[in-house]
Amino acid sequence: MNKVRKFFKKISGNIFGNLSKDIGIDLGTANTLVYVRGSGIIINEPSVVAVNKKTGQVLAIGKEAKRMVGKTPGHIVATRPLVDGVVSDFEVTEQMLKYFIDKVHKGSFTLFPRPRIVVGIPSEVTEVEKRAVIDATLNAGAREAYLIDEPMAAAIGARLPVQEAAGNMVVDIGGGTTDIAVISLGGIVVSRNLRVAGDEMNEDVVRYCRDEFNLLIGEKTAEDVKMAIGSACPQKEKMQMEVRGRDLVTGLPKEILLTDEQARIAISRSIRIIINNIKTAIEETPPELLSDIMQRGIILAGGGSLVRGLDRIIADQTEMPVRMMEDPLTAVVRGAGIVLEDIETLREVLVENQHEKSLR
């Protein structure tokens, strides 16, 4: 019976494989990136969905929904279905994934696309969280769904020799999570997953403006501050930025001039937590692998790693070379795409979970 089932699965897989485009997805808290086999990265949109609470209807997804954040009436909610890199709203995540799958196949002759999908997830997630991503992906239209740890995908995206007996250290600072991993022989030897990353830095800026200036600002304004004048260590060029919000004392509009030094003080707490956890991961790394990492350096990936001077301060604190990955924002999805292009050879780097075991 199992042989018959496998035979029909292989035949249907070949049929759907010829009609569908296999996809690699970096399902991030802040942004979702989609890699299409043979075409490269074709989608990079915010992980935001606008929903009408009265009808339950999805009104917008991606860039269009991001423009609605903080500007919607009471019955419309622009929300992120992923919190700290894991699914918090199953149905909305499923709708978002279906939107991206349909967008990839738009213009093709496939009426019911059934692609194979490789999804990047944070390391150290629970079996329940893995199952939620697998189920959402399958329900969205995938015929096969595979998971890969984001730091592993980032390392593959950076073309590091992850399958060799050599140490590679990757720090992937995303929107919701920071993944720190030491990789060797196709597996993760040491890992730490923090719920402190780009979004927490935004919250730090909001908190600083509230505490120091009695000024309430929105999440988008805080993100703009972080990107425009945020830094991890003093810079040669002094910067400042006008920040507008609501005065918490008078309730009226208020504008302040925020300097790069103040922005640096604001995000220093999150930077400190990330660096302390990198140090802890180094302490837990076997000496032989540490020797390799000292030669290769610590590799930074993810949008959060773009904070000015972050590589310098990590190098100073760890006394190890640190280098930024080329195009760090797309590292994870590029790695997922590389696995997708040669899934049989790289199958050992994929995450094994209880759901997959039960299907064997």
User: Which helix (DSSP H) or strand (DSSP E) does residue 58 occupy?
Assistant: strand 58-61
Same domain, yes or no: 256 and 133: no
Classify burial at 173, counting beta carbons within 10 Å of its beta carbon; exposed 0-12, middle 13-18, buried 19 or more: buried
Q: Is residue 2 part of a domain?
A: no
Dist CA 105 CA 117 (whole Å): 13
Instruction: Choose the final residue of a domain: 210, 242, 264.
Output: 264
Give the total number of structural domains in the chain.
3
Q: Is residue 72 part of a domain?
A: no
Which CATH number goes with the domain that contains 129? 3.30.420.40
Dist CA 209 CA 203 (whole Å): 10
Q: Is residue 190 part of a domain?
A: yes
Same domain, yes or no: 279 and 297: yes
Dist CA 2 CA 77 (whole Å): 46
Same domain, yes or no: 229 and 286: no
Return per-residue pLDDT of the chain as tens, 360 residues: 444 444 434 444 444 445 578 999 998 888 889 999 888 888 898 888 898 888 878 888 888 888 887 777 888 888 888 887 778 888 888 888 888 888 888 766 555 678 899 999 888 888 888 898 899 999 988 999 999 999 999 999 999 989 888 999 999 999 889 999 999 998 999 999 999 999 999 999 999 999 999 999 998 899 999 999 999 999 888 999 999 999 999 999 999 999 999 999 999 999 999 999 999 999 999 999 999 999 999 999 999 999 999 999 999 999 999 999 888 999 999 999 999 888 888 888 888 654 444 444
Same domain, yes or no: 187 and 306: yes
Same domain, yes or no: 139 and 119: yes
Which CATH number goes with the domain that contains 217? 3.90.640.10
Same domain, yes or no: 276 and 229: no
Q: What is the pLDDT of residue 357?
A: 46
Same domain, yes or no: 215 and 287: no
Same domain, yes or no: 182 and 312: yes
Instruction: Choose the final residue of a domain: 221, 247, 264.
Output: 264
Instruction: Choose the final residue of a domain: 238, 264, 290.
Output: 264
Q: Is residue 38 part of a domain?
A: yes
For the chain, counts of helices (H) and of strands (E) = 12, 18
Q: Is residue 116 part of a domain?
A: yes
Q: Is residue 70 part of a domain?
A: no
Same domain, yes or no: 256 and 176: no
Q: Structural domain of residue 303, as residue ranges?
A: 166-196+268-328
Q: Is residue 316 part of a domain?
A: yes
Q: Is residue 230 part of a domain?
A: yes
Same domain, yes or no: 102 and 238: no
Neighbour tally for 86: CB within 10 Å: 21
Phi/psi-derived region of residue 269, left when phi > 0, alpha when psi is between -120 and 50, beta in every other case? alpha
Strand order in the sheet with 168-173: 187-194, 178-184, 168-173, 298-301, 322-324
Same domain, yes or no: 180 and 320: yes
Q: What is the pLDDT of residue 358?
A: 42
Q: What is the pLDDT of residue 124?
A: 80
Same domain, yes or no: 106 and 130: yes
